[in-house]
Structure 1
Amino acid sequence: MENFKEQLQAMFVTEDQIPEQHRVDEIHQREYLVNGEMRPWNGEVSEVYSPVMIPAADGSLQRKLIGTYPVCTETEATEAMEAALQAYDNGRGEWPTMSVAGRIKCMERFVYKMSEQRTLVVKLLMWEIGKSYADSIKEFDRTIEYINATIDALKDIDRQSSRFEMAEGLVAQIRRSPLGVVLCMGPFNYPLNETFTTLIPALIMGNTVLFKPPKHGTLLHYPLLEAFKDAFPKGVVNTVYGRGAVVTPGLMATGKINVLAFIGSSKVANDLKKRHPKVNRLRAVLSLDAKNAAIVTKHADIGLAVSECLLGALSFNGQRCTAIKIIFVHKDVAEEFTRQLSAAVEALKPGLPWTDGVKLTPLPEPHKPDYLKEVIDDAAAGGAKVINPHGGITSGSFVFPAVVYPVNEGMRLYHEEQFGPVIPVVPYESIEEPIAYQINSPHGMQVSIFSNDAKEVSSLIDPFVNLVSRVNINTQCQRGPDVFPFTGRKDSAEGTLSVHDALRAFSLRSLVAGKLNEQNKTLINEIVNDNDSNFLSTKFIL
């Protein structure tokens, strides 16, 4: 054990041993974007320490300082909101009244400028949240693909809306219109991609945005602020920096936020929604807590189940809302499953983000190693064991994954979303046990079912589609592809995200209608032929 801990500590190397192309210079952000200007900041700043630790002279490990960013106050947050309100101008602003083609052109300009920052943003993903080089590249490139897919989806929606509809003596054109000011807050685990899955559709539908970066993964947005400034009219994108508990409640309390787009905990989402004086006016697009279960039946292909559960539970160290966070295994196959799972976990390669083939990296949250030890110790006190030889061994910000078995409902790991590299395994005898777990769980995002018995799978699909939003068959829980709906039940989500669904989530069906008589025919034809209206139009975007 001590030898392995020393091996883990040895992976943290001095700065001169880090490959030159992956070294990072400190970035001290002293400006923020509001009303189309990069405003200087001379106040309090927050220091950003990387999960990548550096050995000190005394042999201890120290998180490396990689930069600082503004800790703004309610005053700056209010200024940002006023800029967004002014740019929207009760729906009369340049951005909400702009043609779809015009907004697409602005978004394409942003994508071009964003792509120029790829190298730096990828590097900051590695250093700020400990994501591997390969996964950091994948996150950036997937985000670009998502934006382009969103543009294509909007073109498709607009093409379908370019015709007039006639019914019961009325003629109408039905399009989608923006909702107003959107407060957009993303998560630390996918600080670029998941943030942009709400930010981009909100923008392209004509809303103005207040954008608050996540606590971990803040600096990586700094290189993109100039792109936002240059690509969009002033006041359309405004940044809100500062401590969430300080700057966001006041924004919500004004009642001037029309949409809350938030990815994080249900506790925070509930608190923010309650602050709004007229909740009926607030649209919420939320992706929240999850405790996704895998169910391995006695008819499962054990090798396949182990492979998929390994990916589902430990991709990016299990720090995903879509991660498999608890595994139910039939008692008849539990011994073989846990044996193979333990061996597969032990074979994973730990290292720093740029290490070739790395599968396990340091954790960005400073408190996380202590928390994981707490829940493992709690399970041990209840009779469970860490069954893989190096499970739970910690060095600095790194925790080697622990397979904990047998877990039961009296343990914290049975209920709490661990959001880290700990895999609780629960043996079961009756299939009613995992069904009861899902019924009683406050979460309802996804489940993975592993079985090769068609009748057994069928009998599980029907109840589970009414308990969670996605049932995965012999496959890990996951978000993509982005064309698939992404949502959840209970405390796990509000609203649905996919490329198409997100465009609908941040807009409203609006129509222009009139009696189908000669006078209106002449009037409408004149408006359309002279291109006087961006809404009432038959233009066809290719």
Structure 2
Amino acid sequence: MSIHNENNYNENMIKIVSPLDGSLLGAVKAMSQSEVDTNIEKAKKAFYEWREYPLSKRADIMYKAADLLLANTKRVAELLLMEIGKDQKSAESEITRTADFIRFTADTAKSIHGESIQGDNFSGFSKEKFAMVTREPVGVVLAISPFNYPINLAASKIAPALVSGNTVVFKPATTGSLCGIELAKIFLEAGLPEGALTVITGKGSEIGDYIVTHPDISFINFTGSTEVGLDISKKVHMVPLLMELGGKDAAIVLKDADLPFAAKNIAAGAFSYSGQRCTAVKRIIVINEVADKLIGYLKDEIGKLRVGNPLTVQAEVVPLISEKAADFVWGLIEDAKEKGARMVMGGKREGTLIYPTLFDEVTEDMRIAWEEPFGPVLPILRVNTVEEAVALANKSEYGLQASVFTENITDAFHVAGKLEVGTVHINNKTERGPDHFPFLGVKKSGIGTQGIRYSIEAMTRVKATVINLNR
């Protein structure tokens, strides 16, 4: 909601300020625990009505939501640009992709069927006994989305939950909450019954623990930092979790890789939207004998990147989401310099805008070797063998994704089989999608599997009705 007069703000409102120019975009309510109770109660009540909607009717509402989202592309893209600093092209792409996601979700839900199981398939039981197996909605789903994809990563939780017959309590990140509210309005305009989708806004320090431990929440779908994800998992008991957390995605470059191609992919994967993506390339592990050549190509590719404020230039490298985020990235850069890393290019800062920075000769005692920057800084770690590359990649506490660049398909599959990650990309940058592919992390990078079909299955439960014909 927009507020036209700053005097209208009070202590119960959270101001939303643009990271691009500091302008006041609006405000959201800092809800109290009692207001959280009200929203969750609405969702719980609506569940018993919504679950009875025929799947075809739930799907039709999803299709209409996708159409409405596309019809509002320009307006929502402008809000995305202003609220989270994403360039216009990327903002419009996020909306188009999200509309496709919602449509495909409805299509996929129609193709998920139950099954019947004959009892005599198991020794000692009669064919007169069989089970009818169906999938049932779990109840009230708590969907918590991050700032960086406030439309796409919200819809990737909301649409599979709703089409499955669940109701949703949606908690967007504070930065990105205006976008999240707009998305919720579109779903509601598409025909959701009252309470099927409610939105909670507020300070995590005041209502965060209260929401995740609320007794009427049946499932939690969270995307965000590993720190917050670990905290949620410690406090929640007997409630299923689906989490996408942090990553330290490695691009492993073997000696027979197509180096110009690898450099182009790595630069795009590391620096688009200033690296503010869970699946951004966050380190290069390269065989030493080709490292110098790779760096030459990387310098060319990074040099082509456009840097600046998307209000004035179509840029890939844009201001970071906050001063705090920029300070963190700058701290990683300073630490690497102090410990002897060689800065190949970059190392320049203008407020929250940090220029794409590439380090060579990074060693394992440097923070940048292990910590997730969520910013435009990329370390190169040199190794002598494929085995060293795999061992170094697996040494991370994270396990989201990795890339392997090689012209030898045998080596590619060998390395892919050894890597402790959810997804390995062969000869491509790390990235999420296509959205019907499985998406998951291991170790501290997540719990459970996302992707359209997998998300629907995660947010439903199997129910068996056993029929005995021999009476």
Output the TM-score relative to the length of structure 1.
Answer: 0.81
Q: Report how many residues are paired.
A: 461
Deviation readout 1:187-227 (Å, 9 max, x if unpaired): 11111101211111011111111101112211112333433
| Aligned partner (choices 449, 453, 468) of residue 496 of structure 1 | 449
Secondary structure of residue in 2 paired with 1:416: coil
Tell me, in whole angstroms, the C-alpha distance in 1 between the residues paired with 2:432 and 2:222.
16
Matched residue type, 2:211: L
| Aligned partner (choices 386, 401, 407) of residue 343 of structure 2 | 386
Work out whether residues 139 and 166 of structure 2, in 8 Å CA contact, stay in contact via their aligned partners in 1.
yes
Tell me, in whole angstroms, the C-alpha distance in 1 between the residues paired with 2:183 and 2:66.
10
Shift of 1:123: 0.5
Shift of 1:73: 1.7
Equivalent residue number for residue 292 of structure 1: 249
Work out whether residues 224 and 244 of structure 2, in 8 Å CA contact, stay in contact via their aligned partners in 1.
yes
Tell me, in whole angstroms, the C-alpha distance in 2 between the residues paired with 1:207 and 1:42.
35
Secondary structure of residue in 1 paired with 2:449: coil
Matched residue type, 1:494: I
Equivalent residue number for residue 68 of structure 1: 27
Equivalent residue number for residue 135 of structure 1: 90
Tell me, in whole angstroms, the C-alpha distance in 2 between the residues paired with 1:47 and 1:460.
48
Output the TM-score relative to the length of structure 2.
Answer: 0.92
| Aligned CA distance change for structure 1 residues 77 and 491 (closer, same or farther; 3 Å) | same
Structure 1 position 79 matched with structure 2 position 47: no
Structure 1 position 480 matched with structure 2 position 439: no
Tell me, in whole angstroms, the C-alpha distance in 2 between the residues paired with 1:165 and 1:99.
25
Shift of 1:43: 5.5
Deviation readout 1:327-386 (Å, 9 max, x if unpaired): 011211111211221222122112332556522222212212222221111001111122
Shift of 1:483: 1.6
Shift of 1:172: 4.4
Tell me, in whole angstroms, the C-alpha distance in 2 between the residues paired with 1:481 and 1:28.
38
| Aligned CA distance change for structure 1 residues 107 and 347 (closer, same or farther; 3 Å) | closer
Work out whether residues 399 and 421 of structure 2, in 8 Å CA contact, stay in contact via their aligned partners in 1.
yes
| Aligned partner (choices 364, 379, 382) of residue 427 of structure 1 | 382
Tell me, in whole angstroms, the C-alpha distance in 1 between the residues paired with 2:4 and 2:248.
36
Shift of 1:141: 0.7
Equivalent residue number for residue 175 of structure 1: 134
Work out whether residues 151 and 183 of structure 2, in 8 Å CA contact, stay in contact via their aligned partners in 1.
no
Equivalent residue number for residue 198 of structure 2: 238
Shift of 1:29: 9.3
Tell me, in whole angstroms, the C-alpha distance in 2 between the residues paired with 1:142 and 1:354.
23
Return 5+ residue gaps in structure 2 as ranges: 120-126
CA RMSD between the two structures: 2.2
Secondary structure of residue in 2 paired with 1:378: helix
Shift of 1:291: 0.3
Work out whether residues 20 and 85 of structure 2, in 8 Å CA contact, stay in contact via their aligned partners in 1.
yes
| Aligned CA distance change for structure 1 residues 376 and 43 (closer, same or farther; 3 Å) | closer
Between Structure 1 and Structure 2, whose CA radius of gyration is higher?
Answer: 1
Equivalent residue number for residue 408 of structure 1: 363
Structure 1 position 275 matched with structure 2 position 275: no
Work out whether residues 117 and 224 of structure 1, in 8 Å CA contact, stay in contact via their aligned partners in 2.
no
Structure 1 position 343 matched with structure 2 position 303: no
Secondary structure of residue in 2 paired with 1:367: helix
Return 5+ residue gaps in structure 1 as ranges: 1-25, 31-39, 54-62, 520-542
| Aligned partner (choices 251, 258, 266) of residue 211 of structure 2 | 251
Equivalent residue number for residue 325 of structure 2: 368
Equivalent residue number for residue 352 of structure 2: 397
Secondary structure of residue in 1 paired with 2:306: coil
Tell me, in whole angstroms, the C-alpha distance in 2 between the residues paired with 1:321 and 1:29.
35
Deviation readout 1:141-171 (Å, 9 max, x if unpaired): 10000000000001111xx44x766542135
Matched residue type, 1:432: E
Structure 1 position 207 matched with structure 2 position 166: yes
Equivalent residue number for residue 324 of structure 1: 281
Structure 1 position 50 matched with structure 2 position 40: no
Equivalent residue number for residue 418 of structure 1: 373
Secondary structure of residue in 1 paired with 2:194: coil
| Aligned CA distance change for structure 1 residues 181 and 41 (closer, same or farther; 3 Å) | farther
Secondary structure of residue in 2 paired with 1:51: coil
% identity of equivalent residues: 31
Tell me, in whole angstroms, the C-alpha distance in 2 between the residues paired with 1:166 and 1:504.
23
Deviation readout 1:286-344 (Å, 9 max, x if unpaired): 00010000111221111011011111111211111111100011211111211221222
Work out whether residues 51 and 362 of structure 1, in 8 Å CA contact, stay in contact via their aligned partners in 2.
yes
Tell me, in whole angstroms, the C-alpha distance in 2 between the residues paired with 1:501 and 1:252.
22
Shift of 1:137: 0.5
